[in-house]
Structure 1
């Protein structure tokens, strides 16, 4: 397989992904698979090298193996987040491993990872992981008045719908931790919430819903999206509604 660690400037200008994995086979597969999906890829064989590269370069996504022999994914992310001068200090990060139970996955998400990827994985799993870049990279408005008017008709109707929408968001925020343990119920709520987002012009929250729905569907193949970003989007949208 070709080595994707040094993409040429003429290649597709997709998201720039750092893959750190001490297993050469995994590293090669992940690099080539991500390239097939349109990403530019840099490869690191250990955590120390990955940390140096993440400090020196601005990546769009970090894919870090949990059990590298020098320093693992958790330590790399902790040191990177604490380095305000690093160019990738705020970059979304995904932890990867060949074996993790539910408790270990939860602890990784709580430590700041945006998702967990179990190996072996598929192209579909990696495509879902790349969706993190799309959500984090877009600067969509919290409330798009023009979109809401087109969907709902008049300013008075939009205002009335947004009052109901605000209540819906607040109740979901309060129930989110309980819903996270029942993905079927959560998916039903998200489906209904997408319709409300369209009527009220909540474009940014709608994109987070799409991403969360996609990752919930991939959960059985190892891709887990933490609720932190979605929870933050809920709060930001509530604040925007309150400010009107």
Structure 2
């Protein structure tokens, strides 16, 4: 396990007393300020009064479940949540549940029972997202795209548009495969899409995918796969902004 992570204010919404005890102890041990509630009503009450860096939200809870709580939070009545990251906990891995999460805009989810190394690496990435985004600019280059398209501006714009449309879908699939622990499908998808990042000049992203594919082949560092996909997603979102600017100048 990694040595340390930035501490944060974490709200844990979980009705299982054993899970509360286990996760509360872990989060406190890692230096976080932890508040625990039993259901969605408790979440809304806490968030109306306090700010948190991360909300860990169980999918199934009494009174008000996780998805209903999430939808209420996204209605915009809670100014404290602007910079808060939300992680869903779920033991449900059916296509219906995953589709519901996707349609609702849920970005991050962890499988129950929780694996502490996966939780640790995921929190590490999410707590440092703001720092990483403010400290670096993710740039792109269209040099390779110009070469393979013979500097055809219309074709270049079409390739860029396809990438911008498809990349978020592929990244969500990657997180889904992490939830399902379907490592073979994750490896296959990475092998399929890594060239797309090279086409649009995202060399850092391509290298991250190459290393992740290698680790998947060797089945090493499994606890880091999800956090690495989250990191890839964040730097890709920033790079897409740069890519869209370059497209306008073609």
TM superposition score normalised by structure 2: 0.64
Asked whether 1:173 is paired with 2:164, we answer yes
Is the Cα contact below 8 Å between 2:163 and 2:196 reproduced in 1? no
1:140-185: CA deviations, max 9, x gaps? Answer: 44346xxx9xxxxxxxxx6735867987765533444468385224
> Which secondary structure state, in structure 1, belongs to the residue aligned with residue 98 of structure 2?
helix
Which moved further from structure 2: 59-68 or 162-171? 162-171
Q: Which residue of 2 aligns with 1:113?
A: 106
User: Counterparts in 2 of 1:58-207, with a 5 A limit?
Assistant: 58-130=51-123, 131-138=125-132, 139-143=134-138, 160=143, 170-176=161-167, 177=169, 180=173, 182-188=185-191, 189-190=193-194, 193=197, 196-197=201-202
TM superposition score normalised by structure 1: 0.65
User: Counterparts in 2 of 1:12-91, with a 5 A limit?
Assistant: 14-91=7-84
Alpha carbons of 1:99 and 1:219: their partners in 2 closer, same or farther (altered >3 Å)? farther
> Which secondary structure state, in structure 1, belongs to the residue aligned with residue 79 of structure 2?
coil
Instruction: Tell me how large the CA RMSD over aligned residues is.
Output: 4.4
> Which secondary structure state, in structure 2, belongs to the residue aligned with residue 77 of structure 1?
helix
Greater percentage in helix:
2
Partner Cα separation in structure 2 for residue 105 and residue 140 of structure 1? 33
1:188-224: CA deviations, max 9, x gaps? Answer: 3449848x545xxx7xx79x979x989xx55999x99
Is the Cα contact below 8 Å between 1:22 and 1:45 reproduced in 2? yes
Task: Give the drift of 1:120.
Answer: 0.8
Unaligned runs of 5+ residues in structure 1 are 1-11, 149-157
Unaligned runs of 5+ residues in structure 2 are 149-155, 175-184, 216-221
